[in-house]
Amino acid sequence: WKMTLFTCMGLPIIWVIPKLIGQFHQTIAIKVQESLAKANQVATETFSNMKTVRSFANEDGETERYRRQLEDTYSLNKKEAVGYAASTWSNSITTLALKVFILYYGGTLVTRGTVSSGDLVSFILYELQFASAVEGVMRAYPDVRKAIGGSQKIFEYLDRKPQTPPDGTLAPETLQGHIQFKNVRFSYPVTAEENKIVLKDVSLELKPGQTTALVGLNRSGKTTCVKLLERFYQPQAGEIQLDGKPLQSYKDQYLHDKIAVVSQDCVLFGRSVRENIKYGYEDASDEEMHRAAKLASAHDFIMGLPSQYDTDAGEKGGQVAGGQKQRISIARALIRRPKILILDNATSDLDVENEHQVYQALLNQTNRCTVLLISNQMNVVEKANHIVVLSEGVIQEEGSHGELLEKGGLYADMVRKYKMGFQRKEEKRNDAQS
């Protein structure tokens, strides 16, 4: 019993040392994961913005940034390896030390005649088996800690509670497309301080079948209104209603079927033009696709492409020009016959002629949808039925083009500056031609 007691007293030491080293291992494993993620981010960012990198001839700069990041990962990996070596080494040493002490203590008991040499040999044989089992468990321990460290981030994301309320249940067969912002107040989660409120008590109405333009200087909160309409965020106060019912009471899938958004930085996939236009609406017929493409003023140029609708758009739409990309995106939005169409600087890359064609087609639709138009092109904005002017998250003025011009406020000022800029561009072009 004395030797058993002696063995049991040694166990906490065998347990404590690997535990301490295991903690160190776990912390390092988390840092390795973070460092690897940063290195991958540099590589992904560089490859996806290769044109910008090359046009600034900064290949060496990006290589250096990646090398520095990898060096950081490498030094963390070295620390991790040292931790691993230390933990296996301390495991072996502590169990070996225990064996030596038991042999020594057993030897003295045999000399004193308390224990027979046969009993000592059988005890040591049992103890060896026991120690190798404990050692086996301890050897796996650092790997378990490393796995815990590596998976910590995954569980962090899995355990996050979404801030948006659960999906609603409404999916009515007919929808008017009447949108009302009622005293909406919003700030982004990262900037919750009072002075960073992006929308302050905004109330506006998008009437069914009408085009409403939302204009304002940069950072006035126009795109934020679109993000709220898409339910990417929730207003902190006030409510957005669709056909008189709160937006969040509608089914998410239904809402995204009825609301189509085309933004300035539209993304095409590395697939055929046909697949891009039918994206998320694969059951659409070719007739529907042609109709949408014609409305978006895209049909003619698509027919001129080498394989027409089967032409590959290239990665991120890299095989087609900016304006063509925008027209394909508009066709992609129109094919689902949305009840609400949001154009957020969607025609910024189109020339005046094509822009005119797109808007003329949209305005002349028989089954017209509610259109929210965000644009810096005042010649386009003036075609809207109603114009809302947003300034620093507050609605400054609203009315028709004529009414706002007469008022002589912010809108009239924007129109004046736009015309002056346009005139200067025309003069420059004339000078260049002559």
Ligand X SMILES: Nc1ncnc2c1ncn2[C@@H]1O[C@H](COP(=O)(O)OP(=O)(O)OP(=O)(O)O)[C@@H](O)[C@H]1O
Q: Which of 219, 416, 417, 419 binds ligand X (CB under 6 A)?
A: 219
**Does the protein bind ligand X through residue 432 (CB under 6 A)?**
no
Q: Which of 88, 151, 210, 223 binds ligand X (CB under 6 A)?
A: 223
Cβ neighbours of residue 390 under 8 Å, at least 6 residues apart? 202, 214, 215, 216, 220, 221, 222, 225, 396
Window contacting ligand X (CB under 6 A); options: 91-99, 185-193, 248-256, 356-364: 185-193
Q: Which of 33, 73, 220, 276 binds ligand X (CB under 6 A)?
A: 220
Q: Is 117 exposed, middle or buried (0-12, 13-18, 19+ CB in 10 A)?
A: exposed
State how far the Cα of 63 lies from the Cα of 60, in Å rounded to an integer: 5
Window contacting ligand X (CB under 6 A); options: 107-115, 128-136, 215-223, 326-334: 215-223
Window contacting ligand X (CB under 6 A); options: 49-57, 188-196, 284-292, 408-416: 188-196
Window contacting ligand X (CB under 6 A); options: 9-17, 118-126, 184-192, 311-319: 184-192
**Does the protein bind ligand X through residue 188 (CB under 6 A)?**
yes
Cβ neighbours of residue 21 under 8 Å, at least 6 residues apart? 83, 86, 87, 90, 142
> Contact 99/85 with Cβ under 8 angstroms?
no
Q: What is residue 180's three-state secondary structure?
A: strand
Shortest Å, Cβ 84 to ligand X: 41
- For the segment 314-373, give every residue that binds ligand X (CB under 6 A): none
Residue 235 CA, distance from chain mean position? 20
State how far the Cα of 165 lies from the Cα of 99, in Å rounded to an integer: 61
> Contact 134/14 with Cβ under 8 angstroms?
yes
Shortest Å, Cβ 233 to ligand X: 8
Shortest Å, Cβ 262 to ligand X: 14
Shortest Å, Cβ 44 to ligand X: 20
Cβ neighbours of residue 307 under 8 Å, at least 6 residues apart? 272
Window contacting ligand X (CB under 6 A); options: 107-115, 118-126, 183-191, 296-304: 183-191
Q: Is the dihedral of CA 49, 55, 57, 58 positive or negative?
A: negative
Q: Which of 52, 132, 152, 191 binds ligand X (CB under 6 A)?
A: 191
Shortest Å, Cβ 220 to ligand X: 4
State how far the Cα of 86 lies from the Cα of 190, in Å rounded to an integer: 42
> Contact 300/357 with Cβ under 8 angstroms?
no
> Contact 242/250 with Cβ under 8 angstroms?
yes
Q: Which of 118, 190, 306, 433 binds ligand X (CB under 6 A)?
A: 190
**Does the protein bind ligand X through residue 417 (CB under 6 A)?**
no
Q: Which of 7, 94, 224, 297 binds ligand X (CB under 6 A)?
A: 224
Tell me the two tokens of residue 157.
């994301």
Considering the complex, state which of residue 210 and residue 223 has its C-beta at the smaller distance from ligand X. Answer: 223
Considering the complex, state which of residue 220 and residue 370 has its C-beta at the smaller distance from ligand X. Answer: 220
Instruction: Compute how many residues bind ligand X; rule: CB under 6 A.
Output: 12
Cβ neighbours of residue 66 under 8 Å, at least 6 residues apart? 39, 42, 43, 46
Shortest Å, Cβ 48 to ligand X: 19
Considering the complex, state which of residue 54 and residue 219 has its C-beta at the smaller distance from ligand X. Answer: 219
Shortest Å, Cβ 87 to ligand X: 43
Considering the complex, state which of residue 109 and residue 197 has its C-beta at the smaller distance from ligand X. Answer: 197
Q: Given phi > 0 = left and psi -120 to 50 = alpha, else beta, which region is 316?
A: left
Contact residues for ligand X (CB under 6 A)? Answer: 188, 190-191, 198, 216, 218-224
